[in-house]
Structure 1
Amino acid sequence: MIGDWIPSLLGGLGVSLKLTALSLGLGLPLGLLLALGAASTRRGLRAVVIGLVELGRGTPALVMLQIVYFGLPAGGLTFSAFISAGISLALTTGAYTSEIIRGGLQAVPQGELEASSALGINHRDTLRFIVIPQGLRVALPALLGFSITIFQATSLVYSIAVPELLGKAYSIGSETFQYLSVLFLAGLMYAAITIPGSWLSGRVEHRLSRHV
């Protein structure tokens, strides 16, 4: 019987991975923009960005999901459940990764910024070619770790009927009443992604730290 569940659960796992990719694809660039805004010398812009970041970090992912799925249609915008889930998780990703990225950007040695200024490199090119590449390199291990968290957070989207892994598991459980078995199997599938992901994150952090 368990063998009959696996194709459906694997299909749900595929949806979870696609949703993770969408969330990170939208959320990481947003996080970079927010990090740059939070580090801006313009007080007004910095205050607005920091306020948005704190609001995003203070709002639980499940609440953000409900706001996007039920709130945007009330404002005239209608998206599928999958897209709504991707947008909500991307907003959460952007808020949290902005602080990770900002920490990486601030870790760039001040001497390199002074050297670029002495060479006559303008501020925009300094960001593009010096600060952002090095800052993202410093932030990479933490960003990989957060990617695992977002993958786990995709389990929340079953609440708006997205057929991801947990949603498939609940569907099977409602038909067979064997919730413990099917949820345990779903948990093993989550672990099959998160454990290697955590190992990879640790390896990347170890390799990068050798050059510090």
Structure 2
Amino acid sequence: MELFLLFLSKALPGLLVSLEVTIGVVAIGIPLGLTLALGLLNTSIPVRVFALVAVEICRGIPALVMLYIVYFGLPQFEVLVDAIPSASIALGISMGGFLADVFKAGLLAVPMGQREASVALGLSKPSAFVRVILPQTIRIVTPPVLGYVISYFQGTALAYTIAVPELMSRSYSVAADNFRFLEVLTMAGLLYAIICIPSARLVNRLSSGGEFKSKQP
């Protein structure tokens, strides 16, 4: 019981840091994914090629390597980023690469007739996109996007490697102080599960009733 109470006192602040990093990841990953998706659907060949290369780089570089590039690599160019923003930026870039295909599929799922009808009613193409196409796209892609959010919440454990005081880092610290790694890391895993399992069930319910289904990462 003493170990459990000690774990909770250390882990709960770390959980808040994990959630903070996740919010940063989402704030970067979703706009980036939508931007790359628009680039992939652009009529300009150079824009499409640039977007395709960017997507492949974002998806092809492991998240841990991206984390090291941002935190350890950028200081060589006199760009200093603190640990928590570094984690959000690196994981957000990685997430954006995967979300590009999700948003692309969502945009293509909106019937072409709605675009044509919007323009026929006098809306400009940007207005038609913002007022007609984007809201429907968001509704379509919400389940798979939430699935990626859950996955990247779990991925915040990677931030332990750059000394972000998130859940995994604080759990390891408790385990190292008491030499009871099995118990402490098991409790950390259960804490992740308590958050992720209900969230995953919500995503499954949304997916079963939605228009777009996606394989989870």
What range is the shorter-chain TM-score in? over 0.9
Correspondence for 1:42 among 31, 41, 44: 44
Give per-residue Cα distances to partners, 1:70-128, cap 9 Å, x unaligned: 11111110011111111101111111111111110010011112222332322111211
TM-score using structure 1 length: 0.95
What residue number does 1:142 align with? 144
Correspondence for 2:70 among 51, 68, 71: 68
8 Å Cα contact 2:171-2:185 kept in structure 1: yes
TM-score using structure 2 length: 0.93
C-alpha deviation, 1:176, in angstroms: 0.8
How do residues 11-90 of structure 1 correspond to structure 2 at under 5 angstroms?
11-90=13-92
C-alpha deviation, 1:203, in angstroms: 2.1
C-alpha deviation, 1:3, in angstroms: 1.5
- How many residue pairs get aligned? The number is 209
What residue number does 2:128 align with? 126
What residue number does 2:161 align with? 159
For 1:91 and 1:3, locate their aligned partners in 2 and report how far apart those are by CA, in whole Å: 36
What residue number does 2:214 align with? none
The more displaced of 141-150 and 166-175 is: 166-175
What residue number does 2:215 align with? none
RMSD of the alignment, in Å? 1.1
8 Å Cα contact 2:70-2:81 kept in structure 1: no
What one-letter code is carried by the residue in structure 2 that aligns with 1:182? Answer: V
Give per-residue Cα distances to partners, 1:16-61, cap 9 Å, x unaligned: 1111011101221111111111111111111101100111001110
For 1:120 and 1:42, locate their aligned partners in 2 and report how far apart those are by CA, in whole Å: 25
For 1:49 and 1:207, locate their aligned partners in 2 and report how far apart those are by CA, in whole Å: 31
For 1:75 and 1:99, locate their aligned partners in 2 and report how far apart those are by CA, in whole Å: 32
1:175 aligns to 2:161 (yes or no): no
Q: What 5-or-longer segments of structure 2 have no aligned partner?
A: 212-217
What residue number does 2:202 align with? 200
The more displaced of 119-128 and 163-172 is: 119-128
C-alpha deviation, 1:172, in angstroms: 1.1
What one-letter code is carried by the residue in structure 2 that aligns with 1:40? Answer: N
C-alpha deviation, 1:207, in angstroms: 3.6
What one-letter code is carried by the residue in structure 2 that aligns with 1:27? Answer: G
C-alpha deviation, 1:134, in angstroms: 0.8
